[in-house]
Structure 1
Amino acid sequence: MDKISNAASENKIFSTRLMLALVFIFVLVFILISRLYSLQISNYDYYIEESLGNQMRMLPITPIRGKIFDRNGKMIAGNQFAYKLTLTPEKTNNVSETLLLLKKYNFINDKDIEIFNKNKKRYKKFHSIPLKYKLNEKQVARFLVSNQFIGVDIESYFQRIYPYNASSVHVTGYVSRMNKKDKALYNKEDYLGTSFVGKTGIEKQYESLLHGKNGKKQIERNVTGRVINTKIIQKATKGTDLYLSIDLDLQKKAESLLEGKRGAIVAIDVQNGEVLAMVSMPIYNPNWFVNGISHKNYKKLRTSKDIPQLNRTIQGLYPPGSTIKPMVALIGLEQGTITSHTKTYCPGYFKLKNVKRKFNDWKRSGHGQVNVRSSIAQSCDVFFYKLANKMGIDNLHDGLKPFNFGEKTGIDLPGERGGILPSKAWKKINKKEPWYRGETLIAGIGQGFITASPLQLAVATAALANKGVVIQPKILKSTHAHGESIKEAKKGIRKQIPIKDIHNWEEVIQGMKQTIYSPRGTARKLNKNLKYTLAGKTGTAQVFGLDAEEQYIAANLDERLRDHALFTGFAPIKNPKIAIAVIVENAGSGSSKAAPLAKKLLDVYFEKQSLTQ
């Protein structure tokens, strides 16, 4: 027997279900409308940009790096049009497989892959990441003919080139690929798309000027990842061109004079501090570094005992030897320890009271009676032993400090070292020992703890020529920004050493003049056929100390233990124009090995001067 249906109950259930269904439909419609509102109205700009991003991307335009010229407009560093292979991860299905295929077809090698994997963290997925630089025309043609790699392209760029190869490398420096350290050093936004930065020299010192400013471009790709349209949004601003104070003719002449040697030559303009020549030998080719130095060349540089990458002009610290004697004599005169009439007898050695050791003169037979001028000209050690002993180390320290010894010159090059100017306090702090009287004597002839760079010696010599004006040396002469006129660079700071009596300065300069022109002057051979007046000082700096009775015989020593040869000077004597410092490592006599090099370079300088007058 069938159950009697309950119509009221069924209607109630149906109504409830219908209500739930309507609510559900209403909720779905509400969600749909809300989503449409969000997509079409609230976040329209965002999603339209996202959708366009599937085919359009904003990429940086790397600016062309500024060029570097010498003072006469000869290009030392420029740019060369070249091609590179790039990969865009966003458009590549499998990056690892693509790299292996590229390697298989000899477009790249394991080193290229290694560098790519290191650098890709710097880029976004839609950036074109460099795979290989400096492709030749044959490689480009082969790739374009058989291109089967989606997301891999050939792009043009400007590559740094140094037309004179190794010449001036320690001044100019070089550029190379950015690393983690560089990334942290430079502004991320400014360097988007930049692969190369200055690593040393002027390239590093003035990186921000040389780099220029990034531009922006919008690229459109098709579904295969190929660029089908490019729109420039903002043009890149070319880097600033730099004109250096360096004279390339003098630079190359100095390099030829030091060829096959270890050493340095610095020549500066006495009147304004501009560096005319700055050579450290040996040198190396900066072009090796631009696209990544080969293992062979890198090993050659790293294992060389001659340390080619050391810029000896500002990083090489040497005992100044006798080249410091004119300053020591001047300090003695200015402090009143001696006068221009002071005479000293030199028997070939000096002894301190109650000290057994003899402090020998370089001339064992002695110089006889000498005064300020002749002691400088003949480089009499005994005169300066006695003078230093009378002054004491702290007075000597205080007198040398204004000449910029013991501190950096402030030249516009990275990596300069300041040298050592010793005192009692310096030794106590650095050596944890007291100062001994004998150490004062050898400091008076530029030996012992005192060290200086060739640039410091040139600056101090220029200060003598200027009668007390110490000028901060400068390399940058002028700049030429894109679309602007050439601007003179800021000049170096000038400091005046206090002068008690100008005649004291003239007395010392006369002693340096006699070094060249006196029959007993240590550089008398230079005055033969000299077409300009020259004041100078020779020097020989010991690499290690000798015992009192021990005689220096170069032939018995290892080459690298022999004395360094030095020469400092300026010319002409009246109205000086140029000061020079020369050091030849382990060459021996300053008068025979360093002084002739200085004369040959000065000859070229004055010959050029006569042609321009």
Structure 2
Amino acid sequence: MDSISNTQLENTLLSSRLKLALVFIFLLTLLLLVRIYNLQVVHHEYYQEESLGNQMRTLPIIPSRGKIFDRNGQILATNKLTYQLTLTPEKVGNISKTLIGLEKQGFIDQEDIQLYYKNRKRFRKFHNIPVKLNLSEQQVAKFLVSNQFPGVDIEPYFHRVYPHNASSVHALGYVSRMSKKDKALYDKRNYSGTLFVGKVGIEKQYESLLHGQTGLKQIERNVSGRVIDTQIITPAIAGQNLYLSLDLDMQKKAEELLKGKRGAIVAIDTRNGEVLALVSTPIYNPNWFVNGISHANYNSLQSSSDIPQLNRTVQGLYPPASTIKPMVALAGLEQGTIDNQSSVFDRGYYQLPGVKRKFHNWDRNGHGRVNVTDAIARSNDVFFYDLANKMGIDNLHNGLNLFNFGQKTGIDIPGEQGGILPSKSWKKINKNEPWYKGETLNTGIGQGFMTSSPLQLAVATAALANKGQLLKPILLKNTQLLGQSITEVKKAVGRQIPIHDIKNWETVIDGMRQVIYSPKGTARRLNNKLGYTLAGKTGTAQVFGLDAEEVYIAEKLEEKLRDHALFTGFAPIENPQIAIAVVVENAGSGSSKAAPLARQVLDVYFNKHLDNELAQ
């Protein structure tokens, strides 16, 4: 009975297990059929595209970057066809092993490997990711002869070149490898595959014009990954060529004159605001940055106390010193505080009523009786101390504000600083202190809290030259699409400074003329075989304040504590064409150290124009 009973139990268990197994097989079969249906019917198109994608890929076509020229068509920035080493992740089995192999063969170094890992997130796995840029011909030949690295290729690309090296770098700027921060700034689709973008200067300001429009191409690979066909879907559109208002000859002359010095020279066309020269020294080579600056070059820039990367023309802020005396005189005349017959007696110093402190003239012997034109010609401090005191800081501020001091000029390069035009409210906000009369006197001679950039001084001087037209300086003169004619850039209309009496302007300009032509003018040495008429103003800016009776002796001071030398001017006087501002840091006298530099830059301009007239 027990044996029969056990057999029945076993049969029952077997039957149950068979049924369970059949159900399980049915479910598995059903799941498989559903999966097949899903793959073959529901998602047929998707997987068909994915399958084709193993053979067909859509890749960006990087446009050729626009070139940059000076106003006369001399090339300032161009492109050179060169080669890069690329790696395609989906075609490389072991990326780390491949990179180490390339390093052992001498094709790349540790910096290249680190940069690859840093940049690869910007690319998809089927992109050809740059590993080494600007390969030499020997490297290309060596790689092609002994290519042992599947998925690693040599590809041509256009490399940015600045043929004049350091010249004009602070105006041009430079391009460098696109960073994560840059990626967030620009259109993702248009910058797909782009390696370089403008970082400073014109290269950054007009990045969208220079870059162009990225195209698309479809490539077909065989089973071994070799490209067997390429179809252009959308052609790339090259970036626009830019023609700047700069004159390269003037640029190089200014750079030569400032070599070994810290300083700036700015020259602008008084008729339309075009910037003819924009030079800041020291300069540096923009070619260093294109493929990634070396540690040695980077350290040399970062460790330099002269700060080569500072664009002193728009970012350097200096006490304008006596170069603003013509504008102060004009403010006094226009507001009726003085007239062209007003004079003061200079005994070598000025004192505020009831104050013991003496505010000395630069010439402690004094100039005797001086009127407004004498005061400008001889840069007399006492006249302007007296005028500033009579005007008061509010009127003085209002008069200088008309010339845009304390504000940006709006030039078309990044990074411009506005400087300081002090007032009672400015000091209260920034120093939380009251205003003192002595500070008004210092402002009247361009010292104290007041600061200005060389560009601001050039723009203000141009406004004096053309009697009230405050120009917006501009570097971009013309643009050109590939294969099309040159198009002139529309200039911004300048602001007109209100004129109360044109004779006041003529009085001030006469004072600036006497700076050059009067026997006692501070820049009379410039009037030696001068082939054009010139009006100007010298300035010597204190870097730090002296005690009332302390005498300035440059030789006893550290070089960087010595006075800055300044000069501003315009020419010709009768029909102004060009205004100039020169600042030489810690050089001393403006009349001896800055004015002669301005004369030599202006000579280049007028000699060239004379040659053009003779040629016509």
TM-score, with length taken from structure 2 = 0.95
1:135 aligns with 2:135: yes
Q: 1:141, CA displacement in angstroms?
A: 1.1
Q: 1:18, CA displacement in angstroms?
A: 11
Whole-angstrom distance in 2 between the partners of 1:225 and 1:387: 82
Q: Deviations over 1:339-359 (max 9, x none)?
A: 011011111100012212100
Identify the residue that residue 45 of structure 1 maps to in structure 2: 45
Whole-angstrom distance in 1 between the partners of 2:479 and 2:262: 33
* Closer, same or farther: CA 29–482 of 1 in aligned 2, 3 Å: farther
Q: SS at the partner of 1:60?
A: strand
Which residues in structure 2 correspond to 1:317-336 (within 5 Å)?
Answer: 317-336=317-336
Q: Deviations over 1:121-163 (max 9, x none)?
A: 1111111111001111111111111111111111110000000
Q: Deviations over 1:330-375 (max 9, x none)?
A: 0000111000110111111000122121000001110111111110
Identify the residue that residue 451 of structure 1 maps to in structure 2: 451
Whole-angstrom distance in 2 between the partners of 1:412 and 1:205: 7
1:257 aligns with 2:265: no
Q: 1:224, CA displacement in angstroms?
A: 3.5
1:511 aligns with 2:511: yes
1:580 aligns with 2:597: no
Letter in 1 for 2:216: K
Identify the residue that residue 288 of structure 2 maps to in structure 1: 288
Whole-angstrom distance in 2 between the partners of 1:95 and 1:517: 74
Q: SS at the partner of 2:325?
A: helix
CA contact (8 A) 1:538 1:568 kept: yes
Whole-angstrom distance in 2 between the partners of 1:226 and 1:288: 35
Q: SS at the partner of 1:392?
A: helix
Whole-angstrom distance in 2 between the partners of 1:261 and 1:17: 97
Whole-angstrom distance in 1 between the partners of 2:44 and 2:138: 48
Q: 1:41, CA displacement in angstroms?
A: 3.9
Q: 1:190, CA displacement in angstroms?
A: 1.4
Which residues in structure 2 correspond to 1:192-231 (within 5 Å)?
Answer: 192-231=192-231
1:570 aligns with 2:606: no
Q: Deviations over 1:549-572 (max 9, x none)?
A: 111111111111111110000000
Whole-angstrom distance in 2 between the partners of 1:29 and 1:586: 90
Q: 1:185, CA displacement in angstroms?
A: 1.4
Q: 1:25, CA displacement in angstroms?
A: 7.9
Q: 1:21, CA displacement in angstroms?
A: 9.4
Whole-angstrom distance in 1 between the partners of 2:150 and 2:27: 46
Letter in 1 for 2:139: Q
Identify the residue that residue 8 of structure 2 maps to in structure 1: none
Q: SS at the partner of 2:305?
A: coil
Identify the residue that residue 366 of structure 2 maps to in structure 1: 366
Whole-angstrom distance in 2 between the partners of 1:492 and 1:536: 26
Whole-angstrom distance in 1 between the partners of 2:518 and 2:499: 27
Comparing 224-233 with 550-559, which one deviates more in the overlay? 224-233
1:154 aligns with 2:151: no
Whole-angstrom distance in 2 between the partners of 1:510 and 1:516: 10
Whole-angstrom distance in 1 between the partners of 2:467 and 2:218: 62
CA contact (8 A) 1:267 1:580 kept: yes
Comparing 78-87 with 475-484, which one deviates more in the overlay? 475-484
Q: SS at the partner of 1:246?
A: coil
1:440 aligns with 2:440: yes
Identify the residue that residue 243 of structure 1 maps to in structure 2: 243
Identify the residue that residue 234 of structure 2 maps to in structure 1: 234
Q: Deviations over 1:417-472 (max 9, x none)?
A: 00000000000110111111101001000000000000000000000011111010
Letter in 2 for 1:574: E
Identify the residue that residue 7 of structure 2 maps to in structure 1: none
Letter in 2 for 1:223: V
Q: SS at the partner of 1:264?
A: strand
Q: Deviations over 1:298-332 (max 9, x none)?
A: 11111111111110000000000000000000000
CA contact (8 A) 1:526 1:599 kept: yes
Whole-angstrom distance in 2 between the partners of 1:20 and 1:112: 62
Whole-angstrom distance in 1 between the partners of 2:59 and 2:445: 63
Whole-angstrom distance in 1 between the partners of 2:304 and 2:33: 75
Letter in 2 for 1:109: D
Identity of aligned residues (%): 70
Identify the residue that residue 7 of structure 1 maps to in structure 2: none
Q: Deviations over 1:42-69 (max 9, x none)?
A: 3232111100111221111111111000
**Unpaired stretches in structure 2, ≥5 consecutive residues:** 5-10
CA contact (8 A) 1:91 1:224 kept: no
TM-score, with length taken from structure 1 = 0.95
1:398 aligns with 2:379: no
Q: SS at the partner of 2:184?
A: helix
Identify the residue that residue 591 of structure 1 maps to in structure 2: 591
Q: Deviations over 1:10-59 (max 9, x none)?
A: 9xx99x99999998888667655554444344323211110011122111
Whole-angstrom distance in 2 between the partners of 1:164 and 1:390: 52
Identify the residue that residue 375 of structure 2 maps to in structure 1: 375
- How many residues of Structure 1 are paired with residues of Structure 2 in the alignment? 608
Identify the residue that residue 600 of structure 1 maps to in structure 2: 600
Letter in 1 for 2:127: H
1:490 aligns with 2:490: yes
Whole-angstrom distance in 2 between the partners of 1:285 and 1:21: 79
Letter in 1 for 2:511: G
Whole-angstrom distance in 2 between the partners of 1:353 and 1:42: 97
Identify the residue that residue 97 of structure 1 maps to in structure 2: 97
**Unpaired stretches in structure 1, ≥5 consecutive residues:** 4-9
Comparing 117-126 with 52-61, which one deviates more in the overlay? 52-61
1:79 aligns with 2:74: no
Whole-angstrom distance in 2 between the partners of 1:82 and 1:298: 24
Whole-angstrom distance in 2 between the partners of 1:299 and 1:17: 79
CA contact (8 A) 1:150 1:224 kept: no
Q: SS at the partner of 2:264?
A: strand
Whole-angstrom distance in 1 between the partners of 2:519 and 2:257: 27
Letter in 2 for 1:179: S
Identify the residue that residue 532 of structure 2 maps to in structure 1: 532
Whole-angstrom distance in 2 between the partners of 1:21 and 1:198: 70
Letter in 2 for 1:93: G
Whole-angstrom distance in 1 between the partners of 2:411 and 2:38: 61
Q: 1:172, CA displacement in angstroms?
A: 0.4
Letter in 1 for 2:122: R
Whole-angstrom distance in 2 between the partners of 1:241 and 1:339: 52
Whole-angstrom distance in 2 between the partners of 1:447 and 1:17: 103
Identify the residue that residue 6 of structure 1 maps to in structure 2: none
Identify the residue that residue 314 of structure 1 maps to in structure 2: 314
Whole-angstrom distance in 2 between the partners of 1:26 and 1:479: 74
Identify the residue that residue 474 of structure 1 maps to in structure 2: 474
Whole-angstrom distance in 2 between the partners of 1:537 and 1:208: 40
Whole-angstrom distance in 1 between the partners of 2:184 and 2:394: 43
Whole-angstrom distance in 2 between the partners of 1:416 and 1:323: 20
* Closer, same or farther: CA 499–144 of 1 in aligned 2, 3 Å: same
Letter in 2 for 1:588: G
CA RMSD in angstroms comes to 2.1
Whole-angstrom distance in 1 between the partners of 2:110 and 2:229: 33
Q: SS at the partner of 1:204?
A: helix
Q: SS at the partner of 2:503?
A: helix
1:268 aligns with 2:262: no
Identify the residue that residue 297 of structure 1 maps to in structure 2: 297
1:417 aligns with 2:417: yes
CA contact (8 A) 1:151 1:226 kept: no
Q: 1:489, CA displacement in angstroms?
A: 1.4
CA contact (8 A) 1:150 1:225 kept: no
Letter in 2 for 1:385: Y
Q: 1:261, CA displacement in angstroms?
A: 1.1
Whole-angstrom distance in 2 between the partners of 1:18 and 1:595: 109
Q: 1:482, CA displacement in angstroms?
A: 2.6
Q: 1:226, CA displacement in angstroms?
A: 3.0
Comparing 74-83 with 476-485, which one deviates more in the overlay? 476-485
Whole-angstrom distance in 2 between the partners of 1:431 and 1:20: 89
Q: Deviations over 1:240-281 (max 9, x none)?
A: 110000011111111111111110000000000000000001
Q: SS at the partner of 1:315?
A: coil
Comparing 128-137 with 22-31, which one deviates more in the overlay? 22-31
Identify the residue that residue 342 of structure 2 maps to in structure 1: 342
Whole-angstrom distance in 2 between the partners of 1:33 and 1:120: 41
